């Protein structure tokens, strides 16, 4: 199988949280024997051992576009209270940005893909990875009509990306003005999101959860665990309540324990120490230095059944003892009480922290069980195989 992949980004320096996951997924496809040609929508075209990169044909325009979007949002009036209450409505700034993208950037991408497909005549399918689908309206249909190729869209941000959600303040509203019927099928990270996508008019919806590459996310042998409780993440959006319950309140109550966080825009954190950013690769060291690792999932994902995010799988692959906030459908991936711990309140969090910090063998057993579960069911090799099976249905 040969796939042409349009990724939101291939550059880990770009502010797209799914990029590390896409690296792992593309690596998994390579390991399954798939030939991958990857081209980024934002940032530089990064070559790797696992895919051949084609350039970003609109990199200069994309950088200007991002600047224009930021200026437009700053200059135009803020959304009215009625619009804030109804996230399905499109703001004036978002509409202006979308129309500009379709007029200026989409034609460049059309010519770029035509050039690749006229050269690479054995491509089996196209896969769009969480790029703004309303910026390229008409392009999937053109590809299917001209080259008789299926075009798949993988949304890795369901349900937060959907029109009935608010999305992230820094992100695109990718569904407004899009024609979802252009795509052969939609794939998302969310089991509960399948029904939501079909309500929007998607005919074929599938689920491929996130996972972890165990070669990348593996334990460091016998680290000195000098951190008691660690949280690694960015932003309070949709999880402010659980940051307070699982970090701020416990770190104040448990003054003798070392709480630490690595992230930005997390607000008040009680007595938790803020660790410096020393590259994405530092995540493994921080996790393995910590006796307990917190998985605080944003409310949008936690409230829609089995809406996966990367962090539980990454932590589990590193053999971490995970303590999580309530997460609907988490039992699809890990067994609560055996492979991770779920707490329902600040009081329960404090109680479980205190117990686990004084029971080393129990912590170790939970971490080992979680890693074994990942190796058995949740690697990106598993996810690549699932994706391949979905695509084959439409070839």
Is 258 inside any structural domain? yes
Indicate whether 343 and 204 sit together in one domain.
no
Q: Could you tell me the CA-to-CA distances from 223 to 8, 13, 176, 256, 318 in Å, in that order? A: 35, 28, 48, 21, 12
Structure confidence by residue, pLDDT tens digits, 43-94: 999 999 999 999 999 877 666 655 655 565 456 554 443 434 455 565 655 6
| 3 state DSSP class of 249 | helix
Give CA–CA dist 169/123, Å, rounded. 36
Buried b (16+ CB within 10 A) or exposed e, 110-149: bebbeeebeeeeebbbbbbbbbbbbbbbebbebbbeebeb
**Residue 324 sits in the same domain as residue 386:** no
Are 387 and 24 in contact by the 8 Å Cβ rule? The answer is no
Both 11 and 111 in one domain: the answer is yes
Q: State whether 84 and 161 are in the same domain.
A: yes
Give yes or no for a contact between 337 and 356, defined as CB atoms under 8 angstroms apart. Answer: no
Please check whether residue 23 lies inside any domain of the structure. Answer: yes
Q: Is residue 216 part of a domain?
A: no
Segments forming the whole domain that contains residue 239:
227-378
Which one-letter DSSP state was computed for residue 139?
Answer: H
Chain segment 299-322, per-residue pLDDT in tens: 999 999 999 999 999 999 999 999
Whether 44 and 157 share a structural domain: yes
Do both 91 and 174 map to the same domain?
A: yes
Structural domain includes residue 202? yes
- 350 domain residue, yes or no: yes
Query: Is 119 in the same domain as 244?
Result: no
CATH number of the CATH domain containing 248: 3.40.50.2000
Rounded to two decimals, what is the model's pTM?
0.90
Q: How many domains does the chain have?
A: 2
Asked if the structure places residue 221 within a domain, the reply is no
Residue in 4, 30, 1, 2 with CA at minimum distance from that of residue 151: 4
Residues 202 and 304 in one domain: no
Neighbours of 336 (CB within 10 A): 13
Asked whether residue 222 is assigned to any structural domain, the reply reads no
Residues 53 and 118 occupy one common structural domain: yes
Cβ–Cβ < 8 Å for 125, 154 = no
Same domain, 197 and 236: no
Residue 220 lies in a domain: no
56 in the same domain as 30: yes
Instruction: Find all residues with CB under 8 Å of 195, minimum gap 6, and list them.
Output: 205
Which of 317, 121, 294, 89 is CA-nearest to residue 219? 317
Q: Give me the tens of pLDDT residue by residue for the chain, a chain 395 residues long.
A: 999 999 999 998 875 679 999 999 999 999 999 999 999 999 999 999 999 999 999 877 666 655 655 565 456 554 443 434 455 565 655 666 666 666 678 899 999 999 999 999 999 999 999 988 888 999 999 999 999 999 999 999 999 999 887 555 445 578 988 899 999 999 999 999 999 999 999 999 999 999 999 999 999 987 789 999 999 998 898 899 999 999 999 999 999 999 999 988 999 999 999 998 777 778 899 999 999 999 999 999 999 999 999 999 999 999 999 999 999 999 999 999 999 999 999 999 999 999 999 999 999 999 999 999 999 999 999 999 999 999 999 99
Residues 104 and 196 in one domain: yes
């Amino acid at each position: 199988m040969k796939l042409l992949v349009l990724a939101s980004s291939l550059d880990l320096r770009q502010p797209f949280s799914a990029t590390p996951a896409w690296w792992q997924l593309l690596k998994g496809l390579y390991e399954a024997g798939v030939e991958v040609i990857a081209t980024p929508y934002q940032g530089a075209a990064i070559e790797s051992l696992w895919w051949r990169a084609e350039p970003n044909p609109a990199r200069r325009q994309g950088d200007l576009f991002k600047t224009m979007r930021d200026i437009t949002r700053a200059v135009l009036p803020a959304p009215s209270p009625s619009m804030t209450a109804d996230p399905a409505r499109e703001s004036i700034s978002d509409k202006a940005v979308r129309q500009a993208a379709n007029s200026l950037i989409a034609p460049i991408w059309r010519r770029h893909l035509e050039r690749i497909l006229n050269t690479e005549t054995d491509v089996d399918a196209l896969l769009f990875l969480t790029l703004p689908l309303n910026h390229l309206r008409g392009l999937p249909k053109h590809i299917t009509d001209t080259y008789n190729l299926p075009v798949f869209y993988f949304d890795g941000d369901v349900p937060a990306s959907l029109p009935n959600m608010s999305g992230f303040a820094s992100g695109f509203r990718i569904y407004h003005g899009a024609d979802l019927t252009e795509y052969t099928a939609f794939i998302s990270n969310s089991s509960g999101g399948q029904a939501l996508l079909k309500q929007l008019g998607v005919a074929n919806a599938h689920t491929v959860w996130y996972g972890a590459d165990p070669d990348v996310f593996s334990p460091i042998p016998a680290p000195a665990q000098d951190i008691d409780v660690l949280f690694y993440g960015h932003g309070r959006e949709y999880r402010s309540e659980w940051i307070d319950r699982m970090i701020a309140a416990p770190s104040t109550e448990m003054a003798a324990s070392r709480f630490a966080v690595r992230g930005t825009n997390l607000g008040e954190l009680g007595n938790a120490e803020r660790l410096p950013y020393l590259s994405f690769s530092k995540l493994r060291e921080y996790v393995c230095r910590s006796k307990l690792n917190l998985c605080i999932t944003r409310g949008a994902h936690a409230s829609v059944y089995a809406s996966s995010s990367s962090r539980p799988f990454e932590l589990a692959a590193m053999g971490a003892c995970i303590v999580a906030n309530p997460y609907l459908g988490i039992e699809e991936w890990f067994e609560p009480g055996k492979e991770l711990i779920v707490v329902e309140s600040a009081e329960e969090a404090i109680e479980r922290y205190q117990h686990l910090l004084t029971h080393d063998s129990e912590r170790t057993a939970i971490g080992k069980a979680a890693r074994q579960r990942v190796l058995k069911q949740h690697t990106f090799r598993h996810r690549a195989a699932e994706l391949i099976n979905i695509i084959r249905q439409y070839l």
